[in-house]
Amino acid sequence: MRPFEKLPTIRAKLGSTIVVAVAMTLAFVFLLQGYALRDTSRDSDRLELLSVARRAADGTLQQPPSGISVITVTPDGRVVTGTPPAPLPPVTDAMTDAGAPKRAPTSSNPRVMRLIPGLFP
């Protein structure tokens, strides 16, 4: 027996098809939103770092939150306040430039931030 044979009228058959299509669309959109928002906690951390950096630039930051280091440097890279993190070894990538060393980030900790005076309004 076919699934639509149980429904007596064309109106019921079309109506059930529309209901199933809408339900599948909603489920698909829900899954897409979940996939798009999977890194929301990292985005929240970035917004917190931006807020701390702006307060440090304004001079209204009394004490940085735990886990966040604020380092003030001059435009030429000289450290004015704070202790910079230990440099990481150069990163190499065998897929580009035949393994030439790439520039490494300043820290493996994403909550460590370098602040250049005057960078944030």
Instruction: Quote the CA–CA distance of 57 and 69 in Å, as a whole number.
Output: 14
Residues 84-111: pLDDT tens digits?
777 767 766 555 555 455 554 455 554 5
Instruction: Quote the CA–CA distance of 19 and 27 in Å, as a whole number.
Output: 12
CB 78 within 8 A of CB 114: no
pTM (two decimals): 0.41
Distances from the Cα of 60 to the Cα of 4, 20, 27, 56, angstroms: 68, 56, 46, 6
Radius of gyration of the chain measured on its C-alpha atoms: 27
Average pLDDT of the chain, as a whole number: 77
Burial class (CB in 10 A: 0-12, 13-18, 19+), 54: middle
